[in-house]
Amino acid sequence: MDFVKDHTWQILIVLNYAIALSAVVTILFKKLNPTKALSYIIGLLALPFVGIIVYYLFGQEYRKTKIFSRKHVLNQSIVKKIQDALELNTKAINEVDDLLDQKSKLIPLLYNNEKSKLTINNDVRLIKNGDEKFKLLFKDIQEAKNHLHLEYFVIKDDKIGTELLNLLCEKAKEGLEIRIVIDDVGSSISSKMKRKLKDCGVEMHAFMPVRFSNSTGKMNYRDHRKIVVIDGKIGYVGGVNVSDQYVNANNDRYWRDTHIRIVGEAVKPLQILFFTTWDFVSDSEIQISKTYFPEHHCKATVPLQIAASGPDTDWSNIMEAIFVAITNAEDYVYITTPYFIPNSEVITALQVVARSNIEVKLIVPKNSDSWIAEYATNSYLQMLLEAGVEVYQYTKGFIHAKTMVVDGVFSTVGTTNMDYRSFNINFEVNALIYDKKISNELTQFFTDDLKHCEKLELESWKKRSKRTKLIEATARLMAPLL
């Protein structure tokens, strides 16, 4: 006993490195991205105890083990019939081929990856900022007749959140089915509000609750999606969460974001996506009926695919779509993202396209809501500037929009940031839109945002202090863990 007491620290160090070396062997066998693997290995070996905790919380890899089962929902006959009805329409693809040129490769890519089918009969409305989104959303909720499905990374019961949750309670009392999925890390709802929702008949489940006893890897694989489906007829998707932070009327800092409202066939894959999540988080096996998939009579014709990615998909669907869209650009690529911590594939694509005399512009925040993400983002900008990419820092407030426009014919709006976490770890969803009108509107959004940006110049950017560059380099090393 005296020996143990006298050598406690040495024993702990030995145990630490025994566990760390075991974890290193596991990392090597997983054949992770070399940069990500190296980051974990350095952390495990250079930071006693801290490295193990970080790896324990963030380093587990579940994509191949398939803990996120979707079979119950996807095997139900009604869902299969809906998916069959949304057949990959060769005629429709041929009709948009002239518009898209090489970008039509995206359509079969997403179909082959995840059976994401092209839908044609859709009406799409671009929404700028949370104020506009919640005005539209509340009106649609008030007019709902059958069911309301919400899936959000962030829901807080602050001013806007309480208004939304109270409205859902009212609709539940009218007899509507209300289902809510909240991410357990991103969301914060008081016990009082949770009891109220339950008493009103609202069903709500947390996605992968994080508790110390079973938290292995659960700081990873968060549900970063923002989805609303109303009566199976109207869908919302984009960057705006439910919090006062996203509403400029309730927020001290200007928050620039982009969302979309969809009416038409594309709501069906959004509905299926919600049910796959609901099946995972709820204890009961839900039986899906045709009521959730009503016939649409939308006369608008905006071609659109719903792309989803996460640990439950075999491929990084959204990242691959972004990569293909960039590499097939002929005139320009305009990207807005709050966090630019990309993988080597996207960096290379942007550099090659820019050096091919194609206009590439990127908007990122000047001041992020995360200091480490800000420094990590800044560490990538010089290599873009050297390749001819025009980089702009948004100064009016914080820009949280996640959008891209290519050649005025393709655009995407969704939840996916240009970072490792969105590409490989979190559950994400984007709408891929093949339409000139929507692309032109989104280009106008981009142009308007440029008025509130500072353009970076290569020579002045190089003159950042050595201290700043060192912090950026350190943050970049940690980027795969962010």
pLDDT digits (tens, 9 = 90+) for 320-338: 999 999 999 999 999 999 9
Catalytic option among 131, 407, 435, 449: 407
Within 13 Å, how many C-alpha atoms sit on residue 468's CB side? 9
Q: How confident is the model at residue 217 (pLDDT cuts 50, 70, 90)?
A: very low
Q: E-strand spans in 154-270?
A: 177-183, 203-207, 226-230, 234-238, 255-256, 258-264
Which of 14-23, 335-344, 436-445 has the weakest average pLDDT?
A: 14-23
**Cα–Cα distance, 144 to 365 (Å, whole number):** 37
Identity of residue 6: D
Query: Which has the higher per-residue pLDDT, 147 or 315?
Result: 147
Task: For residue 395, give the nearest of 420, 353, 354, 365 by alpha carbon.
Answer: 365
Per-residue confidence (pLDDT) for residue 461, from 0 to 100: 96
Query: Which has the higher per-residue pLDDT, 115 or 335?
Result: 335
108 has pLDDT over 80: no
**Cα–Cα distance, 311 to 422 (Å, whole number):** 11
**Cα–Cα distance, 440 to 446 (Å, whole number):** 10
Span 249-260, average pLDDT: 95
SS3 223: strand
Q: How confident is the model at residue 92 (pLDDT cuts 50, 70, 90)?
A: low
Catalytic option among 103, 224, 233, 361: 224
Residue 451 neighbours by CB distance under 10 Å: 7
**Cα–Cα distance, 355 to 415 (Å, whole number):** 29
Query: Active-site residue 448, yes or no?
Result: no
User: Which residues neighbour 319 within 8 Å (Cβ) at sequence distance 6 or greater?
Assistant: 309, 343, 345, 346, 416, 422, 423, 424
Per-residue confidence (pLDDT) for residue 173, from 0 to 100: 97
Task: With beta carbons less than 8 A apart as the criterion, state whether 58 and 220 touch.
Answer: yes
User: Which residues neighbour 4 within 8 Å (Cβ) at sequence distance 6 or greater?
Assistant: 11
Per-residue confidence (pLDDT) for residue 297, from 0 to 100: 86
Query: Active-site residue 400, yes or no?
Result: yes
Per the listing, tokens 């949750």 go with 165
Summary count for the chain: helices (H), strands (E)? 19, 19
218 has pLDDT over 70: no
Task: For residue 207, give the nearest of 270, 276, 266 by alpha carbon.
Answer: 276
Whole-number mean pLDDT of the chain? 87
Query: Active-site residue 407, yes or no?
Result: yes
Catalytic option among 36, 402, 435, 449: 402
SS3 149: strand
3-state helix vs strand vs coil in the chain, percent to 5: 50, 20, 30
Identity of residue 157: D
**Apex 218 CA angle, 216 and 222, nearest 5:** 165
Catalytic option among 131, 157, 231, 312: 231
**Cα–Cα distance, 264 to 432 (Å, whole number):** 14
DSSP 378-432: HHHHHHHHHHT-EEEEE-SSEE---EEEETTTEEEEES--EEHIIIIISBEEEEE
Residue 331 neighbours by CB distance under 10 Å: 10
**Cα–Cα distance, 475 to 481 (Å, whole number):** 10
Which of 21-25, 31-35, 238-242, 307-311 has the weakest average pLDDT?
A: 31-35
Query: Active-site residue 452, yes or no?
Result: no
Using the Cα atoms of residue 39, residue 42, residue 45 and residue 46 in order, give the sign of their dihedral.
negative
**Cα–Cα distance, 243 to 253 (Å, whole number):** 13
In tens, the pLDDT along 30-68 reads 666 676 677 778 878 887 877 777 776 666 655 444 555
3 has pLDDT over 60: no
Largest CA distance in the chain: 82
Within 13 Å, how many C-alpha atoms sit on residue 117's CB side? 21
Catalytic option among 149, 218, 226, 296: 226
191-200 and 159-173 helices, crossing angle to 10°: 20
Q: What is the DSSP letter of 188?
A: B
Question: Whole-model pTM?
Answer: 0.86
24 has pLDDT over 90: no
**Cα–Cα distance, 181 to 195 (Å, whole number):** 16
Query: Active-site residue 331, yes or no?
Result: no
Maximum average pLDDT range among 104-118, 390-404, 467-481: 390-404
Catalytic option among 103, 296, 361, 400: 400
